[in-house]
Amino acid sequence: MKKKFVYKVDKCLGCKSCEIACAVAHSTSGDLFNAVNEFDALSPRKKVYASSGKNYPVSCKQCDEPQCVSACMSGALAVDPKEKNVLYDETRCVGCWMCVMACPYGAIKPDKKSKKTVRCDQCKDKDEPQCLKACPTKAILWTSS
Amino acid sequence: MKQILIIGNSAAGISCAEAIREYDQTSKIVMLSDEDTPSYYRCLISYYLAGDVKKNNLMYKPQKFYSDKNIELVLNKKVIRVNTKKNRVSCEDKSQYDYDILVIASGARAHIPDIKGVRKKSVFVFRSLKDIKEIESLLPITKTACVLGGGLVGIKAAYALRRRNVEVKVLVKSNQILSQVLDAEAASLVQKRLEENGIEILLGQDADEIIGEGDIRAVKITSGKIFGCSLVVLGKGVEPAVDCVEESDIKVNYGIVGNEFLQSSVPNVFTAGDVCESLDICRGKNAVNAIWPVAVEQGRCAGLNISGHATVYPGSFGMNSTDFFGLPVVSLGLHRIEKDDQGLEECKVFDAAQGTYKKIIIRGDRIVGAIFVGAIGSSGIFTRLIKEQVDISSLRDKLLEDSFGYPDISGLIQEKEQSYV
Ligand SMILES: Cc1cc2nc3c(=O)[nH]c(=O)nc-3n(C[C@H](O)[C@H](O)[C@H](O)COP(=O)(O)OP(=O)(O)OC[C@H]3O[C@@H](n4cnc5c(N)ncnc54)[C@H](O)[C@@H]3O)c2cc1C
């Protein structure tokens, strides 16, 4: 079942713990202590934006009609026929940035170093997204709608 | 049984067939393609030539797709005539196909410029896998190449050849590269990056004649100067592939004219993709936006309408993104203000230290164009602002700030689903 993030804006302090946890989770070494040495490779897939005095974490929203998938011209992005979530096959990404240009939330970023796009994968290889665990105020919810 | 015939087995045709099959399992669907290969990601052919993409990652829909969806695919079938009275198409090999509904998704063809010698051997267009394979077969004996045209396809061809260690010169008629998608400032940043990576660019140079016999070629430009090379690639733009409907009563302007349901002037004939001319949101009039996402969207919309799910096509606009040797670039909608454009204004920021450039073009309180060079992270939000024609009067000061993000627009747009509570 597809799961999506919901954020309690009033609880978000803008501390960016989620960004750090995300960057670490997607680093080669996987822990903060060593991840700081991978400076260039650190690219969080979640970013906290401040607007009108409030904080909003932004990452892939697993849209029901994902624009990134129709824009992808290399076959790297597809909708899982069963779960309906967006699948990303990094080996097919050519770094054309079509998905970056198409994402209505600005949630997909170009990683110039790897020439691949980086996007939230909901920490698919872990039990749950690491941003969720890292949030000190429980402002991030991960729910199946 | 109803027979749906689709001309073209690429982005638009396939997405149309897929959409039809979501609701209609019984009609017969036949797809005709004049190519000899199954479908492939056309936009990847330059990456394939460059060696960045392997053959198996180039292929789009496998045979299984057609068998699973009960679609009959016929390759090597070139439609040469459409008879809308008899609801029948005729092919080059004299075979004929009847239809109840016809979809013309024949895409675009490379424009062949009117230059002497253009039909010579070793002069190639850059549109199909066949073109690329022919170019590739000559690479072992190719040291130098000339690309005519500084558009996206020409530059991508130059990039691919350069990656294969060919010395490349790009001859550009106008005084900037990418004049169809970028303004002069953005183009000069891209040009610098290309030159730093060994691609030679000659602006304001128009080819006059391609000369030479055997394997030796040279391009003579209007000033009389001659550039020697062993291979010439034509990157002089594309044109909608409308030949097969020319004698029919299907209305063709520049492309086949599609209405808000992507129906042509003949009600049981639909059109989608690079061949289709339909509403352009930014220009406020019909245009052909020959890009992959538009072909997919239009194919889908036509397919939904064919399967009885009336769906209005909201219109499209040009959007291009590319990476030039590590310099990401995005162009949306209008890219410059022409002299006769009334009521448009431009805001731009150029950060010399970062090497980034951002520009937006506004009509009234709506964005109708944008360019991003070097920093493209927020470009998707601009795509949305353009697509939904959002009133941006309250955002004017923020739009070009580095901190600009989705939360700044969330109060101005309608979401089906709330992710902030
Ligand atoms: C080198 C290159 C790079 C590109 N890069 C990008 C990019 O980065 N981003 C982007 O958005 N777009 C890009 N494009 C454009 C993109 O490929 C097209 O917009 C897209 O392929 C259009 O899909 P389509 O289905 O409308 O037409 P096409 O892909 O052109 O397919 C039409 C098919 O119909 C066939 N056909 C034509 N006439 C007939 C006939 N009479 N009978 C039978 N078959 C016929 C053609 O041979 C073709 O197979 C690129 C194109 C090229 C060439």
Buried b (16+ CB within 10 A) or exposed e, B24-56: beebebbbbbbbebbbbbbbbbbbbbbebbeee
B→A contacts (Cβ < 8 Å), by residue, are: 15, 41, 43-44, 47, 52-53, 57, 60, 292-293, 296-297, 300, 319, 321-323, 326, 328, 330, 332, 376-381, 383-384, 403, 405-408, 410, 416-421
> Which chain B residues have a beta carbon less than 8 Å from that of A111?
none
Residue B197 or residue A42, greater confidence: B197
Decide whether A1-59+127-145 matches A63-119 in CATH topology: yes
Tens-place pLDDT, residues A51-80: 989 999 999 999 999 999 999 999 999 999
A32 and chain B in contact, CB less than 8 A = no
pLDDT at B214: 72
B7 lines ligand 1 (CB under 6 A): yes
Q: B241 — alpha (psi -120 to 50), left (phi > 0) or beta?
A: beta
pTM assigned to the model: 0.95
Pair B354, B375: CB distance under 8 Å? yes
Distance from C-alpha of B230 to C-alpha of B220, rounded to nearest angstrom: 13
pLDDT at A39: 55
pLDDT at B417: 85
pLDDT at A116: 94
Domain ranges of chain A: 1-59+127-145, 63-119
Q: Is B405 helix (H, G, I), strand (E, B) or coil?
A: coil
Beta strand pairing call for B88-91 and B79-83 = antiparallel
Q: Which of A52, A58, A70 is nearest residue B297 as measured by Cβ atoms?
A: A70
- The DSSP code sequence of B70-82 is TEEEE-S--EEEE
pLDDT above 70: residue A40: no
- The DSSP code sequence of B363-402 is ETTEEEEEEEES--TTHHHHHHHHHTT---TTTTTTTTST
- The total number of residues shown for chain B amounts to 421
Confidence of residue A43 (pLDDT cuts 50, 70, 90): confident
pLDDT at B222: 86
Distance from C-alpha of B83 to C-alpha of B91, rounded to nearest angstrom: 11
Tens-place pLDDT, residues B151-196: 999 999 999 999 999 999 999 999 999 999 999 999 999 999 999 9
CB atoms within 10 A of CB B190: 23
Inter-chain CB proximity B406 and A91 less than 8 Å:
no
Confidence of residue A36 (pLDDT cuts 50, 70, 90): low
**Under CATH, which number does the domain A63-119 receive?**
3.30.70.20
A51 and chain B in contact, CB less than 8 A = yes
How many angstroms does the Cα of residue B63 sit away from the middle of ligand 1? 19
Pair B13, B7: CB distance under 8 Å? yes
Q: Which two tokens stand for residue B21?
A: 């099959």
- The DSSP code sequence of A70-113 is HH-SSS-EEE-TTT-PEEE-GGG-----HHHHH-TTS--EEETT
What average pLDDT does chain B have? 96
Q: CATH for A1-59+127-145, among 2.60.40.2220, 3.20.20.140, 3.40.50.360, 3.30.70.20?
A: 3.30.70.20
Inter-chain CB proximity A110 and B405 less than 8 Å:
no
| Distance between start and end Cα atoms, chain A | 9
> Which chain A residues have a beta carbon less than 8 Å from that of B297?
70
Tens-place pLDDT, residues B46-65: 999 999 999 999 999 999 99
pLDDT at B208: 93
Q: What is the DSSP letter of B156?
A: H
pLDDT at B166: 97
Distance from C-alpha of B74 to C-alpha of B49, rounded to nearest angstrom: 26
Element housing A18 (H / E): helix A17-25
Q: What is the mean pLDDT of residues B353-367?
A: 95
CA dihedral B254, B259, B260, B266 (to 10 degrees): -140
Inter-chain CB proximity B405 and A56 less than 8 Å:
yes
Interaxial angle between packed helices B11-23 and B292-306, expressed in degrees from 0 to 180 and rounded to the nearest 10: 30
pLDDT above 70: residue B382: yes
Q: Is A34 helix (H, G, I), strand (E, B) or coil?
A: helix
| Distance between start and end Cα atoms, chain B | 51
